[in-house]
Amino acid sequence: METAPGPHNFPQRQASKRAEVIVRTEGLTKRFDTFTAVDQLALEVYHGDVYGLLGPNGSGKTTTLRMLLGLIHPTAGKVTLLGHPMDDSKQRYQALSHVGAIIEQPVFYPFLTGRENLYGIAAFGSQPQSEALEERIEEMLELVDLATRARDLYSKYSLGMRQRLALAATLLHYPQLIILDEPTNGLDPAGVVDIRELIGQLARQGITVILSSHQLHEIQQVCSRVAIIKRGHLLVQGKVQDLLSEQPAIIFSFPDPHMLQQAELLLHTLHPGTWPWLNDSRIITAEHEQSWVPPGGQMLLVEATMEHAAELNAFFGMKGLYATEIRRHETSLEQYFLDLTTSPNPP
């Protein structure tokens, strides 16, 4: 018997499919009266991406996702979903038959069990009751780790369980693309980890995921590419790794705060042009999750690539300033996001 492809039997992601654009927006714009909520967005989501749409409150994330799904019409611009232009109603229908989405808290019946709710959703989607459907429902309950709680009433479910049931529901019809608006909102840390792991699992099985979120720490761990928007404008779009390696820096820790001050002063009194590769330096506060925090809790951040660490260290050493730790500065997506969204001159 031939089975439809699903998260457990999806073909492995193929290298040649990587470059395939699954979602493209061109000049995508939404105005509400005179207010422009989304302004000329050009997004590209590739097959196999976990694509994070990030932005401060009110920056236009939900409005963008709603336009991707054809829930609201753009004022201008164009959305192409799975190769189908969304302004054509027939094509839109075809595209959406391969998409699963959770944009608002999905409505389930509180007086039915988790499993019964999935049967209800399948019936709504005109999926005939069959052995294949039963198998699919059990498979999805397993996938979202609700199999042992499938006989419990929905009203007894925690927020995390409700979110996982919603994901199971969106997966019933074997979507190629899943769109999730703030999927970790309101969840406790364990719930966030569950959803993150599930999203990673879906991506590994070839499903493309687009999500919006404020949980940047989580995004950094699960997203392959992100777009950062502010007041409806696209500030940046790219691979998480590429964005974070844009600002290389080295961290020097010193055994006492006095040495730290001297090291900083030394760099600032250097003749401009001595080291053209040295962009800037400043004292920063150590983050406490690090393995070791120097006395005084502060360190020197030098904006330069790691290949210059030895030269800098030798320079400090000649002046009697001995670093106790030298390492590459890891920018977090959270810091990158804050720098970008609070900068008066974003790119």
Ligand X SMILES: Nc1ncnc2c1ncn2[C@@H]1O[C@H](COP(=O)(O)OP(=O)(O)OP(=O)(O)O)[C@@H](O)[C@H]1O
In angstroms, what is the minimal distance from the CB of 63 to ligand X? 3
In angstroms, what is the minimal distance from the CB of 33 to ligand X? 7
Q: Does 59 bind ligand X (CB under 6 A)?
A: yes
Spatial distance between the Cα atoms of 211 and 141, rounded to a whole number of angstroms: 22
Q: What tokens does 309 get?
A: 């660490």
In angstroms, what is the minimal distance from the CB of 79 to ligand X? 15
CA-based nearest residue to 321, from 272, 249, 264: 264
Spatial distance between the Cα atoms of 129 and 123, rounded to a whole number of angstroms: 8
Q: Does 183 bind ligand X (CB under 6 A)?
A: no
Size of the site for ligand X (CB under 6 A): 10
Q: Does 63 bind ligand X (CB under 6 A)?
A: yes
Q: Does 57 bind ligand X (CB under 6 A)?
A: yes
* CA 345 to centroid of chain Cα atoms: 24
Nearest CB to ligand X, comparing residues 43 and 140: 43
**Binder of ligand X out of 22, 23, 28, 37 (CB under 6 A):** 37
Which listed range, 52-60, 197-205, 305-313, 320-328, lies at the site for ligand X (CB under 6 A)?
A: 52-60
Q: Does 60 bind ligand X (CB under 6 A)?
A: yes
User: Following DSSP, what letter does each residue of 178-205 receive, concatenated?
Assistant: EEEESTTTT--HHHHHHHHHHHHHHHHT
Q: Does 61 bind ligand X (CB under 6 A)?
A: yes
Q: Does 291 bind ligand X (CB under 6 A)?
A: no
Helices and strands: H and E segment counts in the chain: 11, 15
Nearest CB to ligand X, comparing residues 62 and 80: 62
Q: Does 55 bind ligand X (CB under 6 A)?
A: yes
Q: How many CA atoms lie within 13 A of 39 on its CB side?
A: 13
**Binder of ligand X out of 32, 93, 109, 111 (CB under 6 A):** 32
Which listed range, 60-68, 82-90, 171-179, 218-226, lies at the site for ligand X (CB under 6 A)?
A: 60-68
Q: What tokens does 37 get?
A: 């909520």
In angstroms, what is the minimal distance from the CB of 37 to ligand X? 3
Q: State how far the alpha carbon of 326 is from the alpha carbons of 78, 252, 269, 277, 336, in Å.
A: 49, 5, 21, 18, 22
Nearest CB to ligand X, comparing residues 37 and 146: 37
Length of the chain: 347
Radius of gyration, alpha carbons of the chain: 25
Site residues (CB under 6 A) for ligand X?
32, 37, 55, 57-63
